[in-house]
Amino acid sequence: MQDLIEDVLAAVPFIDMHTHLFAPEFGALGLWGIDELLTYHYLEAELFRFSAIHPHTYQAMTKSEQADLIWQVLFRENTPVSEATRGVIAVLQALGLQSDTPDLSEIREYFRAQELEPHITRVFELAGIDKVVMTNDPLNDTEAALWREGPKRDPRFEAALRLDRILNDWPDHFENLSKQGFRVQRECGGWTAFEVRRFLDGWCERMNPLYMAVSLPDDFEYPGSEPRNKLLTEAVLPACHEHGIPLALMMGVRRQVNPMIQLAGDGSGRSDLRALEHLCREFPNNRFLVSVLSRENQHELCVYARKFSNLMPFGCWWFLNNPSIVEEVTRERIEMLGMSFIPQHSDARILEQVIYKWRNTRRTLAPLLTGSYRLLAEDGGHVKRATIEKDVRRLFRGNLESFTRPRVSAPS
């Protein structure tokens, strides 16, 4: 049975519903290659555990000096057994590159020889994916300018309209909207909600996003009188409803618990999911994609998903994307939700990471699905290849496609 399941998992191309990758037309915003792979913030966090280097000294180094140091410390002096270090080894193996090299010269030579678009095609094939969803920030000036140029977008890259600056840091960013002619106020009074709605409508026209998204701190509360709640209920949710797209809530992140290590400095906290309960109940015509960062929130998220069909749990996010936790979370989701959830996204920041992140997901899912189907067979159910294929397509394509706009390409 497991061989059959592994075969089906390998044969079905997945949609990667949350990444920080960019289509080739976004130029330098898209990260790829060995120096980016090695300076991934997950590896930076691990470097500071193994090396006495001060973060400020590291941050003053060039990108290639940083990569050389991480290669030396995490891959040469120590054993790359963590998920993030083993991932780099897996990428090199998949690309046919040696990983026992004392320095990076040969590996850098390989990446220098690659042309981006065929390289993307090869990496997607190795990862078993045919579409990714980007994270697009309309208040990132560089990215916004590229969108305004209106590049023809590579159809393998869907957009997601990211709202963190608007919803979480309004006082620091409202002037960016008022400079563009939107009548908005720091205290969210007057025409603010109406104008934020107009701003979102404009970006929906430009980006055609699959969904809107926001990450929320562990102390997020709803209902509440914060500017975030006013903008959420009076601008974001009405806009999502009108454009027929879900809102992705990524809950439980504690930003910059250690600012000294920059992007590597974010942490995790348990959320009060009653906020989610209120939102799903008060906005029954909105759909919510939800990922929670705390392991302690996972079971109650499954319970809420049984209460609200407008709630779609997705992914084992960030610090949860480790086989020991993916296994626990996915088992309880199958036991409580059947196949009505989205098991994983890669959260890849660097192109080639999709290779190891999706290899790990398939490797963890195979025995899990085998166990579920074995139980079904023992209890009298009938499991054929077609059953398994239908379920895998649903988990890694269909649930997203049916929960977002129908235009997401039909399963290939």
Residues in the site for ligand FIX, rule: CB under 6 A? 20, 135, 215, 250, 263, 318, 347, 349
Beta carbon nearer to ligand FIX, 13 or 265: 265
The C-alpha atoms of residue 333 and residue 336 are separated, in whole angstroms, by: 5
Residue 347 Cβ, how far from ligand FIX at the closest point, in Å? 4
Beta carbon nearer to ligand FIX, 347 or 389: 347
Residue 338 Cβ, how far from ligand FIX at the closest point, in Å? 27
161 phi/psi in degrees, rounded to 5: -85, 110
Beta carbon nearer to ligand FIX, 251 or 388: 251
Partners of residue 410 on adjacent β-strands:
none
DSSP code, position 140: -
Question: CA torsion, points 386, 311, 367, 14, in degrees to nearest 10?
Answer: 60
How far is Cα of residue 69 from the mean position of the Cα atoms in its chain? 27
CB hemisphere CA count around 52 (13 angstroms): 0
Tokens of 281: 């109940």
> Taking CB within 5 to 8 Å according to partner kind, which of ligand FIX, Zn ion, none is near residue 349?
ligand FIX
Residue 169 Cβ, how far from ligand FIX at the closest point, in Å? 13
Residue with tokens 């027929």: 244
Residue 317 Cβ, how far from Zn ion at the closest point, in Å? 7
Site residues (vs Zn ion, CB under 5 A): 347
> Taking CB within 5 to 8 Å according to partner kind, which of ligand FIX, Zn ion, none is near residue 157?
none
CB 59 within 8 A of CB 70: no
Beta carbon nearer to Zn ion, 35 or 347: 347
- Give the residue ranges of DSSP H helices in 181-322: 192-207, 227-231, 237-243, 274-282, 298-307
Partners of residue 342 on adjacent β-strands:
314
Ranked by CB distance to Zn ion, the top (closest) residue is 347
Beta carbon nearer to ligand FIX, 318 or 341: 318
Q: What is the DSSP string of 28-59?
A: GGSB-SHHHHHT-HHHHHHHHHH----HHHHH
> Taking CB within 5 to 8 Å according to partner kind, which of ligand FIX, Zn ion, none is near residue 215?
ligand FIX
Residue 263 Cβ, how far from ligand FIX at the closest point, in Å? 6
Residue 19 Cβ, how far from Zn ion at the closest point, in Å? 7
Beta carbon nearer to Zn ion, 122 or 349: 349
> Taking CB within 5 to 8 Å according to partner kind, which of ligand FIX, Zn ion, none is near residue 166?
none
